[in-house]
Chains A and B, each alone.
Chain A
Amino acid sequence: MSNFFRSLPKHVKTAFISIFRHLAMSLSAISAVTVTLLLFSTFLMIAGNISLFTKNIEDDLRIHVVLQPDVVKQADLDNVQKDIEGIQGVKKVTFSDADHELELMIKEHGEDFKMYRGKENPLSNAFFVSVKDADTIAAISKQIEQLDHVKQTMYGGTSVPKMVSMVDSIRFGGMIFVILLTLLALFLISNSIKMTIYARNAEIAIMRNVGATNWYIKVPFMLEGILIGLLGAILPCIFTYFGYPYLYEMLGGQIVTSLFGLQPIYPFTLQICAALLGFGMLVGLIGSFLSTTKYLHWKR
């Protein structure tokens, strides 16, 4: 192990030199990584926000159960709550009294409703019911409507589950695209490393002759692969670091409604940059490992 660290600076130097010696090959591998990571970055930005949207949407996925105005006794309220909780598929039931309802109304429809504060409050008590599965929301809502003391039920509309599944398929398609690009980048990196190996054939032969272990021979090539991955990640990182805040400012932090609020710039962009760097290095490492192992394996 101490040998490894002693020779590490030399290995790093070798890796740098050989990237510049085969500049064309290195550049093609680097640009493959760059393209892959640019798309990966876009994908991450979209996916990160979509998962936030879905979370918001799913929060919205609850039934507003408005009770008859005359239901005020605690015993009756408890009974209704128990009845609702008894329905299959119900996740959580929260009580919202008339005053709370009014505050929500004010928040949603404006200050004009402030005048109803106090005894004038025309609203009645209500419950918020969240369900386990978005698809069952219509059925459960209907069931609740049949209960005693319930005046009406409302929920976020039938388009919600459809949207969730659409978002899921976008995510899936993007993932496949990114995987294919990753394979391309892997191929190009391992090809580039292969060129380096052939160019340094004589050196490798001498290393073998004087008793260098396979690992000693492999390390510079693997470092070269990692470096290619890192260099390829620089542009996508810049793109993410400056592009996302720009987009965020332009859209004002949300798409149309607050339901589609965007991920805050920090730590989101930093997380993506870290993922890109890590992913670039990993692809470089795997690509170079494949070609060195293949080349060195059948020689004694």
Chain B
Amino acid sequence: MIRLENVSKEYKNGVHALRDINLTIEDGEFVYIIGPTGSGKSTLIKLLDGEEIPNSGTVMVENINVGKLKHSKVPVYRRNIGVVFQDFRLLPRMTIFENIAFALEVIGMKKVDIRRRVREVLELVSLQDKAKAFPDELSGGQQQRATIGRAIANHPKVLIADEPTGNLDPQMSAEIMDLLEKINEVEHATIVMVTHDSTIVDRFKKRTICLEEGYVIADIMKGGYLKHE
């Protein structure tokens, strides 16, 4: 469960990114976070994965107070959450298999277990036949599937996707959405997806949280993109 209580974040340069946010996301939920550029979406993600500390309020993820974590405990906490980025961030010199395995090596998993889990993940994201390919040999959609695979390899309880369809055409975006829904079901991961893409929000209806200028201006359970009059 993710719970934000009275969370405010102001950067050192005076920008108020978030103002008094209260939010609860239950286990296994799939939520969109929408809003214009500069509305605080990225800051919200940074608070969730422990990169930033709120100025006030508490950020609780899986009963861990993220803002109060010691520096040395942040990496261990991060193993609970997977992050997917708009720009993929795959390591270009590694194959897809190695890229996913890398995430598991880093946390010291045994080689045999790594191999088994990577195969499992490749199957889940339908990239079995691309295991030995390098990232630049894949299409954007395939690369994004690979990063999703890397993010979920460690069975995270929360998957954060930062505009995962931002660089993809509508058909590929739909593929990614299908994959995320599958992960939501199969891996029982809570999914927090930041997006700009109104067609996706309208087509795959889910709880939608709308941020603007650091405030939550709408929290719509039935989904659909907010229309500005």
Contact = CB atoms under 8 A, between A and B. Distances in A.
Interface of A: 3, 6-7, 10, 202-203, 205-214, 216, 300
Interface in B16-75: 49-53, 71-72, 74-75
Contacts of B50: 300
A211 B107 contact: yes
Chain A binding surface, main DSSP class: helix
B91 A7 contact: no
Given A7-B105, A206-B102, A214 B75 contact: yes
Interface of B: 49-53, 71-72, 74-79, 82-83, 89, 91, 102-103, 105-108, 110, 150-151, 154
Contact of B78 (A3, A203, A208): A208
B105 A10 contact: yes
List the 10 closest A-B pairs by CB distance, nearest first: A3-B108, A211-B79, A211-B78, A210-B103, A212-B106, A213-B75, A211-B75, A300-B74, A209-B83, A207-B106
Contacts of B102: 206, 210
A205 B91 CA distance: 11
A203 B51 contact: no
20 contacts: A6-B110, A7-B108, A205-B89, A206-B102, A207-B106, A208-B78, A209-B89, A210-B79, A210-B103, A210-B106, A210-B107, A210-B150, A210-B154, A211-B76, A212-B106, A213-B72, A213-B75, A214-B72, A300-B52, A300-B53
A5 B83 CA distance: 28
Contacts of A202: 89, 91
A211 B83 CA distance: 11
B72 A206 contact: no
